[in-house]
Structure 1
Amino acid sequence: MIVLLPPSETKAAGGAGERLTTARLGFPGLAVARSRALAALDRLVAAGQDVSTPAKARAAADNAAVRTSPTMPAIERYTGVLYDALAAASLAPSARRWVDAHVVIQSALLGFVRASDPIPSYKVSEHTRLPGERMRALWSQAGAEISGFAIDLRSKAYASLAPVAGAVPVEIVSPEGKALNHWNKAGKGALVRSLAEAGVEADSADALVRWAASADVPLTRTDEGLRLVVQDPRFASVV
């Protein structure tokens, strides 16, 4: 079972790991695409980046140092609503091992990475124009690296950038059946935390729904995939 997550614009600074070595990352079939993306980022840095605000200056510095700066596990590098709700750092060891084994994050710079993969801070999104490259051309075939049953919690933009055949999308809605925005991300993070804490091993959407029913998690089947009801958006709870 694989859980596909989007990256986040915000990232934790620093790290205690050695500098980026793409050979240490999961999914070695992405090595060529990663090399092209990093070379394009080098060209972007050489051409000069916008440093007009403190945030943009930090982003530019991160990009300039992406090959030499310290790393940390991807699940700790990404921050923001989804990752705050998942709160990987507070998981029990067994739940954290589940995350490391099952969670895959899609990076616009490095393609798919495992939760435990050591990555640096960087500022590249699906909208970034990398000189000499197109995001879709870089990652359109990356989905071939994902095998087995996968649930897709990525945004539509990232799912379109690197389609994964057979991945089951998860829709997040309010108790009234309305689509959510901010709380969409919180609901996703809370769902992954619930899966990790339960140590779920499902090989199909139906098996996952059966677990959800037994755990009182409001996850159901739809014609398109799965639907999760976020019961109380103020607390991003899925139970």
Structure 2
Amino acid sequence: MLVLLPPSEGKSAGGRGKPLDLTALSLPELGAARATVLDELVALCSGDEDDREKAREVLGLSEGLRGEIAKNAELRTAPARPAGEIYTGVLYDALGLATLSPAAKRRAARSLLVFSALWGAVGIKDRIPSYRLSGGVKLPGTGALGTYWRGHLDAALPEAAGGGLVLDLRSSAYAAMWKPKGELAKRTATVRVLQSKTVNGVEKRSVVSHFNKATKGRIVRALLEEGAAPRTPAALAATLRDLGYAVEEPSPTGLDVVVTEL
């Protein structure tokens, strides 16, 4: 099973460690494409005050996030840490990579890929620096990053997916970077988390960001700890029900997980 995760906008500080080595990242066939985006981002964020203001506008950063520009300018020399320690936020807190059992950690290293506007996709053990670049950004030279990465990932990911299930938990900006095709699309499951509330005796369902992210993190954690290896979306639905989730199947590859509380 291959699990596709979104990154987090906020990231932990790089701390101490050796700088980035692009050649050591997973999916090495993406090396040249990664270098292109990295070089443009570093150049964009370097320079005088006018240059930094342009970078802030291109990256869509608020005034309070201006410090992220200086961080991007130093990406080539900044300390790197495992991606699983860099990405933070609700989904990653619920996933709790650091507290997985040893066997589940090994499964996570084999099966989790985090999508990124800068790296394309990385494994959780890949050492990367903390950075700021969202999937919806359009760089002056490279262009829209969702479009840029699509062709490169089309060439790399089918082999990485192998013959098993692909569990796609990406948000829309990162789902645009790669869409499974053909036979692979039939064994790619997407999950929507719906919060169920009863109002005046009537059930109402809605997508709530916090519930969505936390539940997806818990689902991945449970699958890793269980050592589950479903090979089809229908088998995944059965596995999640066995794990205690309320699951509906509105389409052959789409699952709705219904929750009532966080």
User: Is 1:36 paired with 2:36?
Assistant: yes
> Which secondary structure does the structure 1 equivalent of 2:179 belong to?
coil
CA distance in 2, matches of 1:87, 1:230: 20
Q: Is the 8 A contact 1:73 1:115 kept in 2?
A: yes
Q: Is the 8 A contact 2:146 2:174 kept in 1?
A: no
> Which secondary structure does the structure 2 equivalent of 1:177 belong to?
strand
Report what 1:209 is aligned to.
Answer: 237
Report what 1:180 is aligned to.
Answer: 208
CA distance in 1, matches of 2:130, 2:11: 6
Q: Is the 8 A contact 2:19 2:129 kept in 1?
A: yes
Deviation per CA, 1:11-37: give whole Å up to 9, x if none: 010244421111111112212211110
Q: Could you tell me how far 1:54 is from its partner in structure 2?
A: 5.4
Q: Which has the larger radius of gyration?
A: 2
User: Is 1:218 paired with 2:246?
Assistant: yes
Read off the aligned partner of 1:49 and give its amino acid letter.
R
Deviation per CA, 1:173-230: give whole Å up to 9, x if none: 1134322222211111111111111111122112212222222222342215111123
User: Is 1:46 paired with 2:11?
Assistant: no
Q: Is the 8 A contact 1:144 1:164 kept in 2?
A: no
Q: Could you tell me how far 1:82 is from its partner in structure 2?
A: 0.9
CA gap 1:219/1:55 in 2 versus in 1, 3 angstroms: same
Hey, which bits of structure 1, 4+ residues long, moved more than 3 A? 50-55
Q: Is the 8 A contact 2:194 2:212 kept in 1?
A: yes
Q: Looking at secondary structure, tell me which structure has more strand per residue.
A: 2
Report what 2:228 is aligned to.
Answer: 200
> Which secondary structure does the structure 2 equivalent of 1:174 belong to?
strand
CA gap 1:145/1:220 in 2 versus in 1, 3 angstroms: farther
- State the TM-score, normalized to the length of structure 1: 0.89
Read off the aligned partner of 2:77 and give its amino acid letter.
T
Read off the aligned partner of 2:261 and give its amino acid letter.
D
Written as runs of structure 1 = structure 2, the 5 A alignment for 1:55-134 is 55-57=65-67, 59-134=68-143
Report what 1:237 is aligned to.
Answer: none
Q: Could you tell me how far 1:124 is from its partner in structure 2?
A: 0.7
Q: Is the 8 A contact 2:136 2:173 kept in 1?
A: no
Report what 1:10 is aligned to.
Answer: 10
- State the TM-score, normalized to the length of structure 2: 0.81
CA distance in 2, matches of 1:86, 1:143: 27
Q: Is the 8 A contact 1:43 1:131 kept in 2?
A: no
Read off the aligned partner of 1:192 and give its amino acid letter.
V
User: Is 1:145 paired with 2:156?
Assistant: yes
CA distance in 1, matches of 2:64, 2:98: 28
Structure 1: runs of 5 or more not aligned: 234-239
Structure 2: runs of 5 or more not aligned: 57-61, 197-203
CA distance in 2, matches of 1:103, 1:21: 20
Taking only the aligned residue pairs, the percentage that are identical comes to: 38
Residue correspondences, number: 232
Read off the aligned partner of 2:156 and give its amino acid letter.
E
> Which secondary structure does the structure 2 equivalent of 1:132 belong to?
coil
CA distance in 2, matches of 1:170, 1:3: 11
Deviation per CA, 1:67-89: give whole Å up to 9, x if none: 11111111111011111111111
